């Protein structure tokens, strides 16, 4: 048996999954959170149903059924740092299973948000790689430091196996220069590493491969548009399995309207707010990243709440939904032009996988592009990969549930 432990670490929490790669089944997973606070919490789920990794159980120290074929265990205790957090995780495996002696991981795969232009593939972690990840924290101050803390803690917990970094930005390193270059002073751009890097690359790669497999067509023959629509959202144009354009830029702020992020905005707006409203740089950062998007337009950051309000005639919610869909449809048209022709459009992530209205309205009216949505297929509550376009649609429109943890595990094995 070949198991890989996947770790996704932030500054105050980390998620994990132990995946048996022979069958690509999840043996266990969980979430260690509130690290550094007065009281932390761990959630450990054995078997299937690892929603616990993103939706922790309620507080307490107990076991409960998470879903059919799985059991969830929660625990509250002080967790002062990531090293203690990993010990809490190891204790959960020892107490509740599965046994790490019987399912010893052959490697640990780490999600790292920003690899800059240095990392184009999964990379075995060395002291030099750790230094590079730390250096790249200047480009991702909210993400890379937490990933590095998780790497250090995991290496202490699993000192005898290789550790591999899988970078969100790596998939987009195939963007041509004309796609990743900003039209600003070239010397400044080079000095401060200003260019478009793109994000959600692990998800975009997984969905592009899964879409080709679902259709039974060679990946290298397909032009695809992948719509990763969650609280954070991005679009990717994929030609022959390679990313050639994506909506996020130097940071995850560029592109689509998101739950709390503005997406594309005229930079002059920031100058105006600074000069006329006296808003400082840090406040502008907070405004665009955490106080804009759907939340800024409606006071609601969740698409489900926005749609409910819009359906009830709430004006700001109706406008916000319209702005969101207008921007999304514009990117589909843009990438159609960049690719020249499109074989597949895939929806993924929380909104993309679960919201039929967003799927219908974002592609509605594009019949001239050969895109035809089947209303019945689109409205079906089915889960798993599925076709939602009509049989006579020139473009296959799919819903492909993303699985970033499995993609990280696959890439981790490929780096050994």
Q: Is 76 annotated in some ligand binding site?
A: no
- Report whether 278 belongs to an annotated binding site: no
Which residues does residue 15 pair with via DSSP β-bridges, in sequence order?
A: 8, 31
Continuous H helices in 246-374? 268-277, 281-290, 293-298, 303-311, 315-339, 349-354, 356-363
Q: Among 81, 168, 187, 374, which one carries the catalytic annotation?
A: 168
Answer yes or no: is 355 a known binding residue.
Answer: no
Let me know if 168 is a catalytic residue.
yes
Is 302 one of the annotated binding-site residues? yes
Residue 136 C-alpha from the chain's centroid: 19
Backbone phi and psi for residue 53, each to the nearest 5 degrees, phi listed first: -65, -25
Residue 354 is assigned to a ligand binding site: yes
Binding site annotation covers 330? Answer: no
- Is 228 annotated in a binding site? The answer is yes
- 223 labelled binding-site residue: no
| Contact status, residue 7 vs residue 150, Cβ threshold 8 Å | yes
365 class by beta-carbon count within 10 Å (0-12 exposed, 13-18 middle, 19+ buried): exposed
Q: How far apart are CA 123 and CA 108, in angstroms?
A: 12
**188 assigned binding-site residue:** no
User: In whole angstroms, how far apart are CA 55 and each of 15, 40, 45, 175?
Assistant: 11, 15, 11, 34
Is there a binding annotation on residue 96? Answer: no
Q: Would you say 301 is a known binding-site residue?
A: no
Q: Do β-strands 105-112 and 163-167 pair in parallel, antiparallel, or remain unpaired?
A: parallel
Q: How far apart are CA 171 and CA 168, in angstroms?
A: 7
User: Which residue ranges make up the annotated binding site for substrate?
Assistant: 111
User: Which residue ranges make up the annotated binding site for Mg(2+)?
Assistant: 8, 404
Active site residues: 168
User: Which residue ranges make up the annotated binding site?
Assistant: 8, 15, 111, 228-232, 302-304, 350-354, 404
User: Which residue ranges make up the annotated binding site for ATP?
Assistant: 15, 228-232, 302-304, 350-354
């Amino acid at each position: 048996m070949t198991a890989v432990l996947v770790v996704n670490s932030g500054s105050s929490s980390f998620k994990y999954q132990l995946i048996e790669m022979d069958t690509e089944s999840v043996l266990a997973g969980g979430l260690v959170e509130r690290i550094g606070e007065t009281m932390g919490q761990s959630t450990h789920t054995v078997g299937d149903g690892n929603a616990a990794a993103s939706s922790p159980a309620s507080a307490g120290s107990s076991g409960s059924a998470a879903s059919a074929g799985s059991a969830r265990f929660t625990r509250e205790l002080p967790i002062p740092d990531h090293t203690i957090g990993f010990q809490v995780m190891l204790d959960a495996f020892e107490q509740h299973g599965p046994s790490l002696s019987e399912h010893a991981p052959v490697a640990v795969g780490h999600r790292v948000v920003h690899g800059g232009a240095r990392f184009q593939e999964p990379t075995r972690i060395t002291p030099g790689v750790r230094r590079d990840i730390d250096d790249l924290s200047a480009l991702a101050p909210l993400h890379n430091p937490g990933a590095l803390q998780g790497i250090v803690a995991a290496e202490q917990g699993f000192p005898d196996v290789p550790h591999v970094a899988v970078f969100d930005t790596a998939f987009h390193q195939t963007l041509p220069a004309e796609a990743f270059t900003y039209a600003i002073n070239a010397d400044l751009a080079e000095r401060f590493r200003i260019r478009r890097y793109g994000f959600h690359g692990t998800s975009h790669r997984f969905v592009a491969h899964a879409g080709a497999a679902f259709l039974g067509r060679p990946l290298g023959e397909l032009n695809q548009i992948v719509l990763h629509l969650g609280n954070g959202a991005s679009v990717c144009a994929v030609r022959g399995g390679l990313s050639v354009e994506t909506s996020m830029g130097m940071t995850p702020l560029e592109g689509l309207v998101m739950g709390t992020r503005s997406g594309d905005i005229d930079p002059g707006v920031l100058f105006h707010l600074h000069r006329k409203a006296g808003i400082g740089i840090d406040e502008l950062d907070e405004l665009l990243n955490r106080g804009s998007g759907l939340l800024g337009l409606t006071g609601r950051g969740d698409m489900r709440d926005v749609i409910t309000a819009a359906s009830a005639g709430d004006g700001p919610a109706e406008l916000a939904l319209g702005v969101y869909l207008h921007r999304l449809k514009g990117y589909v048209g843009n990438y159609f032009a960049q690719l020249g022709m499109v074989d597949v459009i895939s929806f993924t992530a929380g909104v993309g996988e679960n919201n039929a209205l967003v799927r219908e309205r974002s592609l509605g009216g594009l019949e001239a592009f050969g895109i035809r949505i089947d209303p019945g297929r689109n409205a079906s509550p089915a889960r798993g990969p599925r076709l939602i376009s009509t049989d006579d649609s020139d473009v296959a429109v799919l819903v492909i549930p993303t699985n970033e943890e499995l993609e990280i595990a696959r890439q981790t094995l490929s780096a050994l």
